[in-house]
Amino acid sequence: MTHEELLASFIHDSTFNDLDQDTIDTVKLQILAFCGALIAGSATAVVATADFIAEMGGKPEASIFVRGGKVPAHQAAFANGAMGRALDIDDHISPGAHIGGAVIPAAFSAAELVGGCSGKDLISAIATGTEVSLRLMLEEEDYAGFDPTGVSAVFSSAAASSKLLKLDKKRTRNALGLVFDRCGASFQHFIDGVLAGPIMEGWVAEAGLECARLAKIDMTGSAQFLTGIYGFFALFGRGKTDIAYVTDDLGKKWNLNRLNFKKYPSCGMTQGITELIMDMKKEHNIDADLVEHVEIRIPPYCYKLVGHEFKIGDNPRVDAQFSAAYCLANALFRAPVTLAHFEAEQVKCPEIFSFVKDKITVISDVEVDRTHYSSDIRVTMKDGQEYFGQIDIPPGTPAKPMTNDEHRQRFYDCVKTSGVSWLNGREEQIINFIDNLDKKDDVCELFSLFQK
């Protein structure tokens, strides 16, 4: 069989019984992270997209979470996906893909579309979709400015949707071929501090479900979407020909333990910076008011995304999330870091802004390119004392995972930040449902908890 046929067969044939416990547990963490992110995201400017979709109406197939209303399933996936990415705190993986924010809203809407499914079937669909995208993840140099979510994570939503819609192998391959033609997106929106990032996540969720629905009515997609002369690896993989890793041990080895979860509400490439400066502050008793200068050295790929000059535009939250300098200053002055520190009024704090502008220098340094997340920080005090720190493994990565308590606390913080009063008291219900998802007969019971 071709790589494309093997991938479609894996999606069609995999079952819950194929999953190991680590993979099941990771999917539950993905769902918890996404649900919290969506709740908090419903209180941001991105919520206008959900309201827009609700106002457009259409066949009531699936729910828009928190905001309410039912719309065509793929449009619900768009609205929920956009809200879920608004705060950039769903799961992620280097070099920057957000898979859960794509596969979960698509799977949720697909499950509603078919009239519900068991928790085991939902877990299997999300795990399978995530695995497909992980297999298609490229290297930093391959993306070269393309957003990995739009290029690689889009396959996750198509795979999960195909599974829940019970497409046969041929139609599943067509769904993947169709969604291949939706691949794309640029990192420029993060640098410019605009809202296109969450919108792109919504598109990725929507595209996967929409393409699965099109395949179900026998619309056809590129048969050689991976290996063709203009296929995925020719266009995005820079002509890679050795792609056996995509299908090697497929169905036998699961890679979800590679996923990262965010301890702090900012870009993945600022997690290490935030953690390191807080460790240095504690170890050396650093007083921010006595700091003369801070030098941050980060790898070139990281620098292009978060090393640019800090500015405050129309969307201060995005400006702050994707600024190494702001994240450092915020942690130095305000630790422990919370979601509230990225709200507009906090980002605009004159003291923080002046510190970033006058006392922080961010440098692109190939010598620091030890890992995707590596950072070196040198703090010079007004009395001439210097402190130096390095970090290669930030919190939330497989080598330094968050605890279950930290995952739960993040969820509670999201609900609190949202200000959605009617969700108060439902936190434990949601957490308990997700914890026991594999024992549930109908996942629509979970979805009802996100409706007023």
Q: For position 366, what pLDDT does the model report?
A: 97
Query: Rounded to an integer, what distance in angstroms lies between the CA atom of residue 129 and that of residue 447?
Result: 20
Q: For position 254, what pLDDT does the model report?
A: 98
Which structural domains are found in the chain, ordered by start? 3-262+402-448 (1.10.4100.10), 268-391 (3.30.1330.120)
Segment 277-306 mean pLDDT? 97
Span 55-88, pLDDT tens digits:
999 999 999 999 999 999 999 999 999 999 999 9
Query: Rounded to an integer, what distance in angstroms lies between the CA atom of residue 131 and that of residue 147?
Result: 18
DSSP letter string, 114-129: TT---HHHHHHHHHHH
Span 210-244, pLDDT tens digits:
999 999 999 999 999 999 999 999 999 999 889 99
Q: For position 348, what pLDDT does the model report?
A: 97
Span 346-355, pLDDT tens digits:
999 999 999 9
Query: Rounded to an integer, what distance in angstroms lies between the CA atom of residue 357 and that of residue 362?
Result: 11
Query: Rounded to an integer, what distance in angstroms lies between the CA atom of residue 295 and that of residue 308?
Result: 14
Buried b (16+ CB within 10 A) or exposed e, 221-239: bbbbbbbbeebbbbbbbee
285 by Cβ neighbours in 10 Å (0-12 / 13-18 / 19+) ranks as: exposed
Segment 169-195 mean pLDDT? 96
Q: For position 107, what pLDDT does the model report?
A: 98
Q: For position 426, what pLDDT does the model report?
A: 96
Q: For position 241, what pLDDT does the model report?
A: 87
Q: Are 334 and 341 in contact (CB under 8 A)?
A: yes
| Mean pLDDT, the chain, whole residue set | 97
Query: Rounded to an integer, what distance in angstroms lies between the CA atom of residue 228 and that of residue 395?
Result: 39
User: In the chain, how many H helices and how many E strands?
Assistant: 22, 6
Q: Is 70 helix (H, G, I), strand (E, B) or coil?
A: strand
